[in-house]
Structures are given as C-alpha cells and as structure tokens.
Amino acid sequence: MYKGKFEWPDGAYIAVVFNMSWEIPPKTIGTAGDQKGGRGVPSSAKYTRAMRPVYENAFAETGGMQRSLDLWQRYDIQTSTYADGLTVTLFPDLAREVAAKGHEFLVQGWDHEFLWKMSVEEQADSIARTNKAFETVLGKRALGFSSAGGHMTAETFSILAEQGFKYSCGLRNAEVPFIIRVNNKKLVGMTSYHE
C-alpha cells in the first residue's frame, strides 16, 4: 500500500495519541456570524447571541481540564494539548500545571478563529503570537501545529516551515505520518481527528 516499509515501534499495529483541544472561541460564537454555523442565533433574532455555546466552551477552565489531568495521571497517559495563545495567556497557572505534568502543547492560533477567515499575514501573526505566549508562560515554544477545526489554507505549511515548526496534524489523508516538503524545509504531516 505504501511505497516504503513502515512499522510502529515494538511491532504495534496502531499508534494512539490522546489529545485535548483547549481553546477560547472567537468573539462570533453564538452569533449569526458563528463560524461553525448552527450554533448561533438567526440574523432576525431579537437577541444577538445564544449563550449555550459560550458556556459549553468554557468547561475546560471550570472543571474539564482538571478532570482530564486527573484521568491522564491515573492511567499514566501523556497527551498533546492543542491550545490557543489567548487561552494560555488568560489561564497561565492551569497551562503551567498541564506542562509540568509532561503534556505537550501544540499551537492552534491566537483564538479559535478558522484560518480561512484570515489573510496570510494574519495567519502568520496568529501562529507567531501564540508561540510567543507559550514561550512566555511555559518557557518553551511548541514544535507542533493543529489548526482550528482542521482548516488550513494553501499558505499554512509555508508559514509553519518559516516559523520553525516540525510537524502539523489534523490532516486526514493518510494512516501514517508523511513528509510535506516546503521549499528547502520539511514538515511531518499526521492524521488526527479532533472534532
């Protein structure tokens, strides 16, 4: 099926990586302009925002992250945490606790805004600002990236390569990691599902 021989370590048939998306939704959540559609109010509504999606997206900080940390520790699981720069900035103590327990952070962007809504410059700024927030709060930059909702643009890989990322996940085109060539650089691409 694949051109080269590929094997997971220790004769495993599959690799499973546990991850959690920890993000601040964009300001349009619950409004008629909600990027996910169907979660907001219609444009004819007497009120401008549905509050249910706002509060559903706040669960990580009020209990969800601690519950996940406890579960991961109980079963000795190391995870990847897809996080936004705004999230890490607003909740630095919780972010440091996640990192101190050995969990990896991946950049998603400044907030959970889809990249297709941004210019190339805005995408690059969102990704760079997030990694700067990681460096400030956590003491190190992320090497991995996963875009909000798995949505990327044609320019995203070039931005990632220029900013020194080593891999990008959220891609859904292969069962095994693969190489993405960007000019003279390489990124590892990985499939992941995080709806």
- Reported as a single tens digit per residue, the pLDDT across 101-125 is 999 999 998 988 888 889 999 999 9
For residue 38, what pLDDT is reported?
Answer: 65
Instruction: Report how far residue 167's alpha carbon sits from residue 156's, in angstroms, rounded to the nearest whole number.
Output: 12
Over residues 2-15, the mean pLDDT reads: 77
First to last CA, the chain: 28
Write down the domain spans for the chain: 9-22+78-191
3-state secondary structure (DSSP) of residue 163: coil
Query: Is the pLDDT confidence value at 170 over 80?
Result: no
Beta partners for residue 106, in sequence order: 82
What Cα–Cα distance (Å) separates residue 71 from each residue in 21, 28, 79, 84?
A: 16, 32, 11, 22
Over residues 158-169, the mean pLDDT reads: 94
Beta strands (DSSP E) in 1-61 are: 19-22
- Of the candidates 131, 13, 20, the one whose C-alpha atom is nearest the C-alpha of residue 67 is 20
- Of the candidates 89, 87, 37, the one whose C-alpha atom is nearest the C-alpha of residue 64 is 87
Q: What is the mean pLDDT of the chain?
A: 84
* Amino acid code (one letter) for 15: A
DSSP-H helix ranges across 13-155: 52-56, 59, 65-74, 85-90, 92-100, 120-138
Over residues 166-185, the mean pLDDT reads: 83
pLDDT tier at 6 (50, 70, 90 boundaries)? confident
Query: Is the pLDDT confidence value at 139 over 60?
Result: yes
Query: Is the pLDDT confidence value at 1 over 60?
Result: no
Query: Is the pLDDT confidence value at 28 over 60?
Result: yes
Cα 188 from chain centroid?
16
What is the third-level CATH fold of 9-22+78-191?
A: TIM Barrel (3.20.20)
pLDDT tier at 195 (50, 70, 90 boundaries)? very low
- Of the candidates 179, 189, 154, 168, the one whose C-alpha atom is nearest the C-alpha of residue 107 is 168
For residue 169, what pLDDT is reported?
Answer: 85
Q: What is the DSSP letter of 65?
A: H
The predicted-structure confidence for 46-64, as pLDDT tens digits, reads as follows 777 777 777 776 777 777 8
Over residues 150-174, the mean pLDDT reads: 87
Query: Is the pLDDT confidence value at 143 over 90?
Result: yes
Number of Cβ within a 10 Å radius of residue 130 = 27
Tell me whether strands 19-22 and 80-84 are parallel, antiparallel or unpaired. parallel
Query: Is the pLDDT confidence value at 183 over 60?
Result: yes
